[in-house]
Amino acid sequence: MKLFIDSANVDEIREIAGWGVLSGVTTNPSLAAKEGRDFPTMLAEICGLVDGDVSAEVVATDRDGMLAEAEPLLAVADNVTIKLPLTSDGLAACRVLADRGVRTNVTLCFSTTQAILAASAGATYVSPFVGRVDDVANDGIALLEEICDVYAQAGYGTQVLAASLRHPQHVVQAAAAGADVATLPAKVFHQMVRHPLTDRGLEQFLADWAARTASA
Ligand code: E4P
């Protein structure tokens, strides 16, 4: 399973990219708006920080508007992936872009039926929102598992991108479910790397080494 960061913050993305673990980035209009910056400029900086796909979401809600918005985004960098909402217009735009060989991420997926439609429209990625399903007292991981199973059975080429992951255990569950990609906020990367036994073990190793050097 590849790891993407879910962020539009250049500093955060640079930091996690520096760990050597990132295969891509997802942004969304809420994350981009939070930065208060010119979107194409910010997108260009983000695209320069990773080799992999960077999802940039359209805000038009009609097919032609989405396609028109996609053009300047695609001009920003070769690794821009067009993120489209899972609506009938989003699917229609996805089909047009897929037929042109443009990479797409169909987002806001909350059901297996929607995921089947995204694959049928030629999406590169489909993004089930695990945490938001949990938020309404349903089981986001169960949804992800079902989508992964159905995709495997059907032999769809679309990659399952587990989104809206809120904590480290979600990441483990996404990998176990067979997701192709997990996108997570910087906070979850930090939660994943830290372990008190690593800190304590390192402290002990360094103390023992310092003592040996001192007595040598
Ligand atoms: C995915 O592409 C979305 O940007 C994201 O994962 C949404 O996460 P949230 O539900 O925590 O806002």
Per DSSP, the three-state class of 157 is coil
* Mean pLDDT (the chain, rounded): 97
Summarize the confidence of residues 70-83 as an average pLDDT: 98
Task: For ligand 1, say whether the CB of 14 is within 6 Å of any of its atoms.
Answer: no
DSSP sequence for 1-55: -EEEEE---HHHHHHHHTTT---EEE--HHHHHHHTS-HHHHHHHHHTT-SSEEE
What is the fold of 2-215? TIM Barrel (3.20.20)
Task: For ligand 1, say whether the CB of 129 is within 6 Å of any of its atoms.
Answer: yes
Cα-Cα-Cα-Cα torsion 63, 128, 149, 90, nearest 10 degrees, comes to 0
Q: What is the pLDDT of residue 46?
A: 98
Q: Torsion-angle region of residue 122: left (phi > 0), alpha (psi -120 to 50) or beta?
A: left
Q: What is the pLDDT of residue 110?
A: 98
Residues classed as catalytic: 83
Q: Which atom of ligand 1 is nearest to the CA of 31?
A: 4
Summarize the confidence of residues 52-67 as an average pLDDT: 98
